[in-house]
Amino acid sequence: MEQLNVWIVDDDNDYCHLMHEVLHDDYQVSLFFEAGSFRAALAGGKPDIVLMDISLPDVSGIELCLELQRSGMDSAVIFVSGMNTLEERLKAYEAGGVDFIAKPFELKELVAKTHAVANYQIKKRSLAEAESFSRHMAFQSMSESAQYGAVLQFFRQCFLCQQYSQLADAFFELMNHLELKTCLEIRVEENLYFVPEHTAISPIEANIFELLDHQGRLYDFGSRTICNDKHVSFLIKNMPLDNDVLYGRIRDVIAVVVEGLEARILDISRQQTLSRVVDDIQKLVGGLANRIQESDQQFCQAMTSITSEIRASFHVLDMTEEQENFFTSLVERNLRQANSASSAFLGLQSALKAMIKALERSGA
């Protein structure tokens, strides 16, 4: 049994010293012979058990017990009185007393009742501590659930982000929910820096990113922590180092968050690359169509001119009919080959257009 504080308030010196002698081996015992000294001692101490005489010279023990109740002290009062009547016991109970000992009493009764009340106090405080712990755990669980809910909401928002600036805004919204002050670096074709106020990052913070963005997943320095992945880093400026539980929970959360950021940055980068590829192919297709059209026109004009000139020169060359038919079929055969090449170019153009549509459907 833990040693509790037992205060004895009785104007009878003999009873006071007798109770002290019996109880001092098991408790921290203090003696008070009047209400004044007892009240003064309450300013600097707290009794676990009070053995209170009802009939004190300066004030009633009943009134002192009521004062203890009003002060909110968790003290158990055992009334000790020479007036062993039903009325006296009822007054003691109504005042908040937990037991009653009638004078004269046997020492065994004093010890037994004091021990019983001591056990009662210990159990009551253990229950209060267990309740407090359970309440703390419940609040902690609620807090963790709220944090994980905010993280899930952040991931949902990430899927909707098509620009790095939108991703940064979603990240800062989460950090604000976690009450963390942060700044963010995204490393793609160039290093992009973001702060919650949409202003320029300070030179020293940019330098910190440059120095520490390859120092592992989590790197603590002072009250700050930098969290890194291949294409992203963020700096937390107010890590709660004085709260080990909260500190550990936040480290777990940000380790997950940085992985989500990294994955979404890669997705956005791929989408932007595909968009650029689509734009380039569209320009290529447009240019190819123009070139095919120009080439067709030039080739047709050239072949028409050649055909006309050959036909006009037949009578000058004094060719036989067989020779004329040979040259005519030669020209016509090459015209058909030219048309076939043109059809191949048009087929290529159609294939590129189909590729563009496929890329657009994939979300590029």
Query: Where does residue 45 rank: exposed (0-12), middle (13-18), buried (19+ CB within 10 A)?
Result: exposed
Characterize the bridge pairing of strands 76-81 and 232-236.
unpaired
Query: What pLDDT sits at residue 364?
Result: 46
**DSSP 8-state assignment for residue 222:** T
Assigned token pair, 154:
């952040």
Say whether 272 sits in a helix, a strand or coil: helix
pTM above 0.85, yes or no: no
Query: What pLDDT sits at residue 138?
Result: 46
Closest residue by Cα to residue 270 from 364, 193, 362, 164: 364
> What is the pLDDT tens value at each position of the chain, 364 positions in all?
468 999 999 988 888 899 999 998 899 999 999 888 999 998 888 899 999 998 888 888 999 999 888 888 888 999 998 888 888 888 888 888 889 998 888 899 999 999 999 988 888 888 777 665 655 554 455 555 566 778 888 888 888 888 999 999 999 999 888 889 999 999 998 899 999 988 888 888 899 999 988 888 899 888 889 999 999 999 999 988 888 888 888 888 888 899 999 999 999 988 888 877 777 777 776 766 667 667 667 666 766 776 676 666 656 666 666 766 776 676 666 666 655 555 555 666 666 666 666 655 555 4
**CB-CB contact of 47 with 30 (8 Å):** yes
> Token pair 């992945």 is at which residue?
229
**Which residues lie below 8 Å from residue 53, measured CB to CB, with a gap of 6+?**
9, 10, 11, 12, 15, 61, 79, 80, 81
Closest residue by Cα to residue 52 from 42, 43, 62, 44: 62
Say whether 227 sits in a helix, a strand or coil: strand
**Which residues lie below 8 Å from residue 69, measured CB to CB, with a gap of 6+?**
95, 96
Dist. CA 323–CA 314, nearest whole Å: 9
Dist. CA 159–CA 123, nearest whole Å: 54
> Token pair 């203090």 is at which residue?
30
> Token pair 């709220």 is at which residue?
146
Assigned token pair, 324:
């004329």
